Structure 1
Amino acid sequence: MSTITAAASGKPVCTLASLDHLVLTVRSLPDTIKFYTEVLGMAHQSFTSPSDPGTTRHALLFGSQKINLHQAGKEFEPKARTALPGTADLCFLANDDVGEVLKKLIEKGIEVLEGGQVVKRTGARSPLRSVYVRDPDGNLIEISNPTVQ
C-alpha cells in the first residue's frame, strides 16, 4: 500500500513533465563508456557545451534520455554538492526480457547481485522483474521489465 501526497503548502512553484538528463561523476570515462555501451547498449556522444566551447564533454544516450558524465575531480559547474563516483542507484527499463539479460550478463562474467537471479521489485508505474549489477564505479544498476498487473 502506498500513499501519494501533494505539496503541503498549496500550489507548487511548477509542475514537472519528465527527466531530461542526469549526471554521473565517474573515475574513468573510458571504463564507464565501455560498460554502458557494451553491456547496456547505450550510445556514446561527445559534445561541446555552449557555455564552454573549448571543452569536450561526454554523454550516454538511450531511449529519449541522456546521462552526462563528469570526470571525478574535473566536474563541470554547477555540480552536485557531493559529486562522488559510486553513489548512484539507477533503474533502467529494458527492451529485452530480463531473463535473457541475466543469461547474457552471466556469460560475460558480470557479477549479478541478489543471488544472481531475477527478482520482483516495485517501479514508478508498475511492479518490475529486475536484475542488479554494479557499474565500474560501484553504482547500483537495476535492469528491469514492467510486469502486467
Structure 2
Amino acid sequence: MQPAVGSLDHIVLTVADIAATCDFYQRIMGMVVEPFTPADGSLRYALKFGVQKINLHKAGAEFEPKADKPTKGSADLCFLSETPLDAWLEHLDANGVPVEDGPVRRSGANGPILSVYIRDPDRNLIEISNKVE
C-alpha cells in the first residue's frame, strides 16, 4: 500500500514581529493565540483555528529544524470561513485593513469559492473565502 497523508496539522510562518502578527491574526482573523513550550523549554507562539494551527518563527531566530530559506512575507494562504464575505468586508473596513482584491470567484481544494484578498503585517497574501454551491 502506498503511504499517503490525510490532513494538514500546522504550518510555520516566519515573521518580523511575533506580537504584531499575533495581534493581527487574533483581532482581524479571529484566531486564538496560544503560547506553548516544546520539549526544548523555549516559549513559542501558535495561532489556532479549527483543528489547525500556524506556528510562528521570528525572522533570524527560527527554531530547528526550519525551512531551507525561511522568509517573511513569502506565504500565500487561503482560509475558508462560514462568515459571509459581506460581514468580512465590513469587519476589515472597520479595522482599517485594505482589501487588495475581491470578492472574486476562485477554485478551492473542494470546489468553487468566493474570495477577498488582504495582507498581514509581513505582507503575506491572505485569502478569505466562502464555499460557493
Q: TM-score higher than 0.5 here?
A: yes
Deviations 1:35-80 (A, max 9, x none): 0000000000111111x11x10100000000100000011000000
Equivalent of residue 37 in structure 2, options 44, 48, 51: 48
Aligned to 2:64: 77
1:95-114 alignment, distance < 5 Å = 95-114=82-101
Identity %: 49
Cα distance, 1:107 vs. partner? 2.1
Equivalent of residue 27 in structure 1, options 16, 24, 49: 16
4+ residue runs of structure 1 moved beyond 2 angstroms? none
AA in 2 matched with 1:25 = T
Aligned CA-pair RMSD: 1.0
Aligned to 1:131: 116
AA in 2 matched with 1:46 = P
Cα distance, 1:21 vs. partner? 0.4
- SS of 1:128's partner is strand
From the CA coordinates, give the structure whose radius of gyration is larger. 1
Aligned-partner Cα distance in 2 for 1:95–1:75: 33
Cα distance, 1:30 vs. partner? 0.5
- SS of 2:43's partner is strand
Equivalent of residue 6 in structure 2, options 17, 20, 23: 17
Runs of at least 5 residues in structure 1 that lack an aligned partner in the other structure: 1-10
Q: Does 1:145 align with 2:130?
A: yes
- SS of 1:49's partner is coil
- For the 8 Å contact 1:99–1:118, the answer to whether it is kept is no
AA in 1 matched with 2:125 = L
Deviations 1:97-139 (A, max 9, x none): 112101221222111012xx41111100010011100000000
Instruction: With the length of structure 1 as denominator, give the TM-score of the two structures.
Output: 0.86
